[in-house]
Structures are given as structure tokens and as C-alpha cells.
Amino acid sequence: MSETTTDLPVVVIGAGPAGLAAAAHLHERGLDVLVLEAGPHAGTATREWSHVRLFSTWGEVVDPAAERLLVQAGWTRPDPAAYPTGGDWATLYLQPLADTLGDRVRYQARVTGVSRAGRDRIVDADRDTQPFTVHIETTDGREERLFAGAVIDASGTWSTPSPAGANGLAALGEKAAADRITYRVPDLKDPAVRARYAGRRTAVIGSGASAFTALAYLAELARTDDGTGTHATWILRRGISGSTFGGGEADQLPARGALGLAAKAAVDGGYADAVTGFRTDAFERDGGGRLVLVGEDGRRLDPVDEVIVLTGFRPNLTFLGELRLGLDERLQAPLDLAPLIDPNQHSCGTVYPHGQAELSHPEKDVYLVGMKSYGRAPTFLAMTGYEQVRSIAAHLAGDREAAERIELTLPETGVCGGAGLFDQPETAEQNGGGCCAATGPTVGAPTAAVPSGGC
């Protein structure tokens, strides 16, 4: 931070895993920090998938600086070998961490804009020496302006799921069919939600961990007395290959590998039919009001009662429009990070560990971290976010050596793939050659991972 802004706090947007970890690291280094959370409590987005179990253990989803802070306050970490749900993660870790940070976390404060004081994105003069202005809106409609020496955006992507349309836009009729579509993994333990899917045909659009979870849940429902007749149609834009169901037993995160195997079992057991090479173009209704999906190639699928769209997420960049961000034109991720995570080139869960250098922008002292740093790319790992904020906090504190040091070893998925977004022949990567495993120096440290897309 410049000399004229060092007396101002670092504003962190979002009280989720990455945002609160950033606050813990900044606090540990003696920097003033203020976390702004749009929701009423910590982990607001995480609580929305509270029924989904992480494929990582407690020992892998707690940030080291956060744990040090919590332990000082008398916190005891849950069994490191146990697998928490999203609800567990929010209530047993994120909320206690936010409580420990106290008035450094402010709730129900939605950020509506970030800029430089007296400078829109056009003006060059003395830009780097001006503080950031952060505009917020409270739940009662009041507007406020805060000043910051640096800004870390950890607001995630949960609020902006991608639509079903293969061209990135909503398919024709998708909005009109909103009463039959969800963009989240349904909680089938909720009686009302369970009744919506029990004994019905549901289309699941997507090919990642969230889609695997939905398929496994629907198959489990189909095996129960009240779920007889439940059936899924799994819609993939690509064909099925050896990498479709993930790394299986070769995955260094066993629960993640098991999730893919559960989806495969749903197909093999007849609880789900896979439709490949299908790119959704339109939603129509048959005479009974059921949904008929129409592909770009003109194919029309059998009618379904419900649709679960799990095609990923995208960042909300609207409130950052007056900042000079350097983002990849495809992924909307930082320019130096994008080549490491581009699913057009590979789909490994192992990405070279990175920090403030790869996350920097033309606008000095502003960072996108956590899932938002990946833009539209999938397979984000929590430990990646923790390493990001550790490095950024060190940089803002003036500790260049620590900022550049790598303190992370990432687990491999057991599968690599090219042409991650389209139906193309398998590449050498997919067949086991040239896997995109992490390269360069690493220091053995506890690993942590959360499911892609927050599931």
C-alpha cells in the first residue's frame, strides 16, 4: 500500500472461507482489516448448500492463520478426519472465526461499487496514491462510502450461476420455465423438496462435482419406497470418456473420487440415462406442461418434470467497473492465472500454487481471491484460496520474501483432460501423458479442498 493509504483498513468483500482467511492473515500481520458481508452472518453462501457434504476433511478446510486465531479464543477444531457438510463448515468454523474477529466483520453491507477517490477508471494522475472508495448499501436502503488502502474481493460466484444455454446465454424459454428449474443441488432430505423430485423425471445438466452429487442424490431417492419411479436424464455437452467420472481410486482426495464413482453407479444401475454431445438451445412445454429440451442440433429429448442446471458459475464484476482489472477475455480470471486453469487446455484439479504475483492487476492493491479469482473456470480448491490470501497479506505487509514463497502442495485428481468445454477427441493429457500436475518448488503443508462450484 502507498504511504498515503497505510492508515486505512484493507477492505475484504465477503465473509466466506477465503474472505475470513484473508482477514485472519491480515490481522496476524498487524494490518487493519474490515470484512463486508452482504448476508446476515458468516458463510451466507455456504449455508445455502448446507446439506451437501464436502469431499475434504476438517483437517483440510481450516486455514492455518485462522486456526491460530481461533485456538487463542478457545476454539477446538472438529475431528480432522471427519467430513463436514456445508452447514457444519459455516456454523462450526466460519461463524466462530467471524465472531473472533469481532467488529472487523460487518454484516448486511452489500458492496455496490469500488473506485479510486476522485478518479474514475480513465484518470491516470496520482492514481496509485489515492485511497479506494467503497460504496455499500445496507438492508434498510441506506448508502455509505468507506475508504480503504487495499481491496480484496472474496465475494465468490455463488450468486451468479451459469445458465443452461450452451452459448453462455439463457436458452430460449429458460426464463419462462423457471418454476421447473433449479441451479443448485436440491436438498432431498427436505420434505417439500423431496416431494418435488420423488417419482419424477429430472434432467441434470452439467459434468462437474455438483452434477455428480445431484445424480447420486436422485439415485438414492429412487431406491427408497417413496422415491419409486424417480429417474434422471444426465445431459453432457461432451461425450463420455475415461475422464468423465473423475479420478476414482486414483484421486488423492478419496471422497472426491468416490463422488464420481457414485455418479457412474447411478448410470450403470439404470437410475440415470446419459445424453452426450447435447448443447441445450431451448426449453419447450408439451401438452401436459412438462419440459422438453431442444438441442442445437435439433434433437428433442423426452419430457421431464424438473431440470437441475449445474453448468458452473461466473463472477459478478459490475461493482468493479471503475477499477482497472487485467482479466482474461475468456475466463474472466487474472491474466497470469488464466493459463494455469483454462479448461480448454486441461481439467486437472492440480494447479500450480500461486499468490499475489499471479493475482495482481493494473490497478495496484486490488485482488480477486477465492472462487472469484478463477472467473468461469471450474474445480477451485479451498486451500488454493488460503494460499492466495496468505501471499497477498504478506505482500501488503511489505514481506516480499513470504509473498513469493510457496507454502502449499496440492492433491492430484487422478485424471487430466483437454478440451474441457467441448466434445473433442481425447488428447494426450487425457490419456495420461503430460498431466498438468503442479511443477516447481513446493513445501509440504496441510492440504485443503472444497468441491467445485461450492459442493
422 pLDDT exceeds 50?
no
Q: Mention every residue, 6+ apart, whose C-beta is less than 8 A from residue 259.
A: 55, 209, 212, 213, 216, 246, 451
CA distances from 61 to 58, 85, 257, 400, 455 (A): 5, 11, 17, 26, 13
**Predicted structure pTM score:** 0.87
Q: Mention every residue, 6+ apart, whose C-beta is less than 8 A from residue 162.
A: 168, 309, 311, 312, 313, 314, 376
211 pLDDT exceeds 50?
yes
Q: What is the pLDDT of residue 411?
A: 62
Lowest mean pLDDT among 169-183, 211-225, 247-261, 374-388: 247-261
Express each pLDDT in 99-121 by its tens digit: 999 999 999 999 999 999 999 99
Q: What is the pLDDT of residue 142?
A: 95
Q: What is the pLDDT of residue 424?
A: 45
Q: What is the pLDDT of residue 410?
A: 65
**What phi, psi does 71 have (nearest 5°)?**
-60, -40
Q: What is the pLDDT of residue 435?
A: 29
186 pLDDT exceeds 70?
yes
User: In whole angstroms, what separates CA 134 from the centre of its chain?
Assistant: 24
Task: Encode 198-209 in three state secondary structure.
Answer: CCCEEEEECCCH
Q: What is the pLDDT of residue 442?
A: 26
**H or E element in which residue 285 lies:** strand 280-285
The CA distance from 373 to 19, in Å, is 12
**What phi, psi does 202 have (nearest 5°)?**
-130, 130
Express each pLDDT in 392-413 by its tens digit: 999 999 999 999 998 876 665 5
The CA distance from 23 to 97, in Å, is 10
Q: What is the pLDDT of residue 4?
A: 57
Cell numbers standing for residue 443: 513445501
Contact in structure between 113 and 121 (CB atoms under 8 Å):
no
Buried b or exposed e, range 94-109, using 16+ CB within 10 angstroms: bbbbbebbeebbebbb
